[in-house]
Amino acid sequence: MSMRKCNAVAIMGTRPEGIKIAPVISALRERSDEINTIVISTAQHRQMLDQVLSLFQITPDIDLNVMQPDQTLSNLTAQVIEVIEVTLQKLHPDLLLVQGDTTTAFASSLAAFYRKVPIAHIEAGLRSYDIYNPFPEEANRKLTSVLADIHFAPTSLAAKNLIKEAVPRSKIVITGNTVVDSLKIFLNTPFNIDSSPLAKIPFDNYRVMLVTSHRRESWGEELKNICLALRDLTDRFHDLLVVYPVHMNPNVRKVVMSSLEGVERVHLIEPIDYLTFINLMQRSYIILTDSGGIQEEAPSLNKPLFVLRKLTERPEAFDRGLAKVIGTSTVDIVTSATELLSNFEAYKKMSQGDNPYGDGLASTRIAEAICRWWRGAHPLLESAQEFSTTRPGINYESINHWPESTT
């Protein structure tokens, strides 16, 4: 008599969650003989999440649509807990998969805990050790770790963080980060720039600085400082072109538009789909961001990265000299960027090296570990199968440059 399938629920609410959990859903569906995968969206980021899922050809089985105008974190958390608990009561899943550090991930985990549903946490173990940076993500991920039964740590450092918090090593699998899986998939996807939102940007003969900044701890004066730095840098370097996809949040748009709209060689564009964004990253010379996912993607593309935060929970690339935390001071941003724009040797040092965050196989490892967990096998994954930066991964040399246009 064959064992029944594992009913696994994968839940997401934001665009970063979608990018990182979508390849896991695809990998689980390839194991459909063992796993029945149900996809739930809270639609915390409605439009941006839908764009990502359409790329992966994933349609949520259940769309909860929890977001309301001007919703506070408390309101959102309470609503997610309530609707997820009711949903889990109807589905009776064997496992809940959550990704990262969002309100959706934490609140869903708490609802699952109340229903005594085992939780698998993808991208577990990241720590800044400052409860308010990033906010509220640092608290979300730590609280989720307390509730989780399986911890999919992207790196050995993340695994060590969990072990220090008394998580048994037997419950931890070092997988690599699934964002590298998504990046690998879409680097090989044809892209026609002439029919994209990038069509009107004059990339030729310019060095492109890609900028993203939207985190709530940077709202207000911090974001104004970033904008002043961009104005200063375009004044200093006449071959510099800034491209800034501006987040939809009114707290971001008001400051950015009032500070940078109409500035020469600064292109403020609407948020773009993931495939277009990957192409934009590849065309960039330098990336400035406060995003976690971009910190993990840039090393795969050999792009020097400056992080517009006070600290990071992803220090692996910084330890290797591939990225630098520079904060939001206008002077510090201008000084750091000027060094790289003026000194090619310094630039080369920050643009060479393998990605310490993943090798494109994280989703396969996660699917295998879940199947082994369901069968009651130990360990969840053999150590030789876990992600290690000492083992060869993807060869990015062959995909270091995009064609100008493909159809």
Q: Which residues are catalytic?
A: 101, 123, 137, 214, 216, 247
387 and 358 Cβ atoms separated by less than 8 Å? yes
State phi, psi for 336 to the nearest 5 degrees.
Answer: -65, -45
85 and 109 Cβ atoms separated by less than 8 Å? no
Taking phi first (over 0 means left), then psi (-120 to 50 degrees means alpha), and beta for anything else, what does residue 109 get?
Answer: alpha
Q: How far from the centroid of its chain's Cα atoms is residue 286's Cα?
A: 18
Return d(Cα 86, Cα 66) in angstroms, integer: 13
Taking phi first (over 0 means left), then psi (-120 to 50 degrees means alpha), and beta for anything else, what does residue 279 get?
Answer: alpha
Q: How far from the centroid of its chain's Cα atoms is residue 344's Cα?
A: 29
Q: What does the DSSP 8-state code read for residue 239?
A: T
Measured between its terminal Cα atoms, the distance across the chain in Å is 50
Output the CA–CA distances (angstroms, integers) from residue 376 to 113, 280, 370, 380, 381, in the order listed.
21, 44, 10, 9, 12
Identity of residue 222: E
| CB-based burial label for 74 (10 Å; 0-12, 13-18, 19+) | exposed
Q: How far from the centroid of its chain's Cα atoms is residue 62's Cα?
A: 23
